[in-house]
Amino acid sequence: MLFKSLLNSVQTWEQPLFDAFVTPTMSGETITNDNALTIGAVYACVNIKANAIAKLPLQVFKKTKSGRERENTHQVAYLLEKRPNPYMTPFVFKHTITVHRNLWGKAYIRMVMKGGNVSELVLLDPSKTIEAEDDKGDKWFIYRDKGKEEKFHHTEIIYLPYGPGGKSPIEVARETAGTMKAAQKFLGTFYKNGTTTRGIIKVLGQLNGEAKKKLRASWAEVNSGLDNAHSIAVLDSGMEWMDISMPLKDAEFIASQKFNIAEIARIFNVPLHMLNELDRSTFSNIEHQSMEFIQNTIQPELVAWEEEMNYKLFTTNEQKRFYVKFNLTSALRGDSQSRAQYYKEMLSSGVYNINEVRALEEMDAIEGGDKHRVDLNHISIDIADEYQLAKAGATSKGGENGEE
């Protein structure tokens, strides 16, 4: 009875979901979550964000009295850092989740339990997953594939929606993406029909419909297509070719293409220089924009991952001791000179020791490198006078000749 009412609510709920993606855009093109990736700018934005997140280590930490330390023995650490399931590496796992969130607005991760512990993390195809509530108000996820149906309680699924209400960037960018797809189709037809033979043939007298068809077919056969591009056309006596200007040369057409790319980048919150649009870019602002991309685009998504995983992957007691965290060190690393200056400051202030710096640079530890050191100029203000007198060869209690 419970699932009967559940399935009835699902049928009415899911219909608008499918209807939303079959309505053509103003350009006449239909944009769905699947075919959106055939648009270059959309593919690039999704891939850039997915790569940026997938390359970051997702690690498990244990809280200690002095702070925290890496936890490598917990089952969750193995799943996130070694193998989430038999078919995916951690990189592919994180990459696919990001693609799902950016195209469908949601990612669903099923936690396969064994002996009371999570043994696998399996991704559910968002195009085959729907959400519903039962009579008691509990949330369920229903997965339908190859005629089979599985139902999962919300406690079994790590749910990662994108933005307000799980609205994907594709839903927001449908009109822009439709315009770009129409332009893409236009370009394909343009090159198929020939790049230099766009115009009309003017003849003396009047031709009937059949004669016009034959003339058009004869002209297309000889002059259309890339193989005939830039070839010399031969006109019979009395015929005159009238050229029609091609929109590909129009500044307005080019500007509209650039605007569409910028609009897609804006919706996905990806800097334009990452899409090779460098019209207004300089070396300094590219570096600044890259940092902003990590801080304002990637980090908020990482926080959403961490909060949901910390709640779902650990028991209530474990949550007091363990948590997952993305390591952003590699993403925030600058060039060699910037890193050297950063390490110098961290070493002199005692934040890092030598071996910690070497570990960040993928180098082996050295003997004595675990000690934290500080610059001698950094001392407590309480002993500043005594320290300066000691440097001058005197003591705070002695006079010029060491007399009291």
Q: Where residue 15 falls among pLDDT bands split at 50, 70, 90?
A: very low
Q: At residue 123, does pLDDT exceed 90? A: yes
Range with the largest mean pLDDT of 264-278, 290-304, 387-401: 290-304
Any domain includes 367: no
**Tens digits of residue pLDDT in 332-366:** 766 677 778 888 888 888 888 899 888 877 688 89
Any domain includes 126: yes
Q: Domain residues for 203?
A: 199-243
Q: State which of 211, 243, 275 marks the end of a domain.
A: 243
What pLDDT score was predicted for residue 172? 66
**Tens digits of residue pLDDT in 75-110:** 999 999 999 999 999 999 999 999 999 888 899 999
Of 102-116, 175-189, 362-376, the one with minimum mean pLDDT is: 175-189
Any domain includes 344: no
Tell whether 205 and 189 lie within a shared domain: no
Pairwise pLDDT comparison (93 vs 233), residue with the higher score: 93
Of 121-130, 310-319, 320-329, 353-362, the one with minimum mean pLDDT is: 353-362
Q: At residue 270, does pLDDT exceed 50? A: yes
Any domain includes 276: yes
What pLDDT score was predicted for residue 277? 73
Mean pLDDT computed over 245-273: 66
Q: At residue 293, does pLDDT exceed 50? A: yes
Tell whether 218 and 136 lie within a shared domain: no
Pairwise pLDDT comparison (383 vs 131), residue with the higher score: 131
Cα-atom radius of gyration of the chain, to the nearest Å?
Answer: 32
Q: Where residue 250 falls among pLDDT bands split at 50, 70, 90?
A: very low
Tell whether 221 and 292 lie within a shared domain: no
Please state the domain count of the chain.
2
Any domain includes 382: no
Tell whether 69 and 208 lie within a shared domain: no
What pLDDT score was predicted for residue 342? 83
**Tens digits of residue pLDDT in 341-350:** 888 888 888 8
Q: At residue 203, does pLDDT exceed 60? A: yes
Mean pLDDT computed over 22-28: 54
289, 271 Cβ separation under 8 angstroms: yes
Pairwise pLDDT comparison (7 vs 155), residue with the higher score: 155
Tell whether 7 and 81 lie within a shared domain: yes
Any domain includes 349: no
Percent of the chain with pLDDT over 70: 62
Any domain includes 381: no
Average model confidence (pLDDT) for the chain? 76
Tell whether 125 and 167 lie within a shared domain: yes
Any domain includes 345: no
Tell whether 158 and 60 lie within a shared domain: yes
What's phi and psi for 288, nearest 5 deg? -65, -40
Mean pLDDT computed over 107-132: 93
Which amino acid, one-letter code, is at 2?
Answer: L
Tell whether 299 and 284 lie within a shared domain: yes
Tell whether 96 and 225 lie within a shared domain: no
What pLDDT score was predicted for residue 128? 92
Tell whether 214 and 70 lie within a shared domain: no
* CA–CA dist 98, 168 (Å, integer): 11
Tell whether 40 and 152 lie within a shared domain: yes
What pLDDT score was predicted for residue 175? 57
Tell whether 239 and 254 lie within a shared domain: no
